Amino acid sequence: MIKVTGNIEARIENDAVPNERNTILVEEAEVVSTKAYDGAQYALRLHAPRVAARSKAGHFVHLRCAPELWLRRPMSIMRANSKHGWIDILFKAHGTGTKLLAKRNIGDIVSLIGPIGKPFKQETYCRRPLLIGGGVGIPPIVFLAEHLRERSVNPFVIMGSEVPFPFPVTPSQILVDGIPNYVTGTMPLMEDWGIPCRLASRQGFAGCFDGFVTELATHWIEFQREEHKEEIEVFACGPTLMLKTVAGIARQFNLKCQVSLEEFMACGLGGCAGCPIEVRTNEGAAMKRVCVDGPVFESADVIFA
């Protein structure tokens, strides 16, 4: 396994591995900040200027959690700053690798392969993007929201979690029509950016919608006037069942929709074919790899089990 991993890394550096226009690379990133949140959740900021310069919303990195652990873990990129050369990742420590990653300190070096995958589309958005992030699907939605803001497109963001949110829930001062009055909780970063955002959970967190993100999204969509529904475009990332429901909502209201799928991965580069899903193509049903053919797909193309 060590030899195979080393060979793959060497071939990437030499541009010998086919990837999305030769954008994937290996980089030794330095930990520049760490934050711990309730629910065994952690955020790391990594100085990785080469990866940061190429990262787009929906991309992920495949990283070594610790020097003694050779098998890598896929991590969504939550933010990337090409000017200052850093990326942010957010994760929950629940297995051997992520628990080791949570112990990394400022100044430690983390090996990255990335940015990997097909990102969310980067232009020609509808006027009213609806962004939905559930659990570990929150990071790509944060990245996409920032991308849209930089292009003067103002989305509505819904986030959900069944563990404490990895940020302090604060009351929003931004009004959102079609949302119950008691639902005021938002992510502070979204509030700072001037992006309307609401939170959902079944855990009774103050200010949050008591239910699933998909229920809150449906509530908001139904409130919109018919002519405005044609302007809505949905982007979602989260557990498979959530995405299946989002795809159903998009089909019900005839909305454009992209979903970023979650899947267990081994190599993360398309070589092991360990993360296939079934999709619709012009030639019929086919198997596609989430890591390099995705993780972002048109929701209408995905055949959910």
Residue 121, in any domain of the structure: no
Whole-prediction pTM: 0.91
232, 90: one domain: no
Residue 122, in any domain of the structure: no
97, 11: one domain: yes
Q: How many CA atoms lie within 13 A of 52 on its CB side?
A: 19
Query: Helices (DSSP H) in 66-212: which residue ranges?
Result: 96-101, 138-150, 188-193
CB-based contact 142:191 (threshold 8 Å): no
Instruction: Give me the pLDDT at residue 102, please.
Output: 96
Residue 123, in any domain of the structure: no
Q: Residue 119 is encoded by which pair of tokens?
A: 């990102």
**Average pLDDT of the residues in 237-241:** 95
Instruction: Give me the pLDDT at residue 274, please.
Output: 83
138, 277: one domain: yes
User: How many independent structural domains does the chain possess?
Assistant: 2
**Tens digits of residue pLDDT in 179-225:** 999 999 999 999 999 999 999 999 999 999 999 999 999 999 999 88
Query: 264 lies in which domain range?
Result: 128-301
Residue 8 Ramachandran class (φ > 0 left, ψ -120 to 50 alpha, else beta): alpha
**Tens digits of residue pLDDT in 5-51:** 344 454 454 443 444 455 789 999 999 999 999 999 999 999 999 99
- Point out the domain boundary residue: 86, 116, 146: 116
**Tens digits of residue pLDDT in 245-254:** 999 999 999 9
For residue 173, what is the domain's CATH number? Answer: 3.40.50.80
Q: Residue 137 is encoded by which pair of tokens?
A: 């699907």
Nearest CA to 139 among 41, 221, 6?
41
Distance CA 68, CA 100 (A): 10
179, 287: one domain: yes
